[in-house]
Amino acid sequence: MEIRVRLYGTLGAGLAAHDPIKGLRLHLPEGSDVGDVIERLEIPRKKVGIISVDGSLAKDDSPLQNGNFVRLYRPIFGG
């Protein structure tokens, strides 16, 4: 299956295939979940804060389907 992934903040730094506006296309086996995306892109899990799939909040174990749009954001800090 093919999904689109957009990385926010510094998550996309060092990934030549990542376009800051369009994101990147990623091919994954059927049955993959968000955790598989994070692992495939070799992003340390502690660097990912908010995850969305097609605009809805998601978790590492959220299943993916062909055509999904995954957004990964850095943790938000401050007060």
pTM, to two decimals? 0.92
In order of start, what are the domains of the chain with their CATH numbers? 2-72 (3.10.20.30)
What are the tens digits of pLDDT across the range 16-53? 888 888 899 999 999 999 999 999 999 999 999 999 99
Whether 30 and 1 have beta carbons less than 8 Å apart is answered as yes
CA distance linking residue 34 with residue 45, whole number of Å: 11
Sheet of strand 2-7, all strands in order from the earlier edge strand to the far edge: 24-27, 2-7, 69-72, 51-53, 56-57
Higher-confidence residue: 76 or 57? 57
> What SS3 state is found at 29?
coil
Residue 62 pLDDT > 90: yes
CA distance linking residue 66 with residue 11, whole number of Å: 23
Q: What's the Rg (C-alpha) of the chain? A: 12
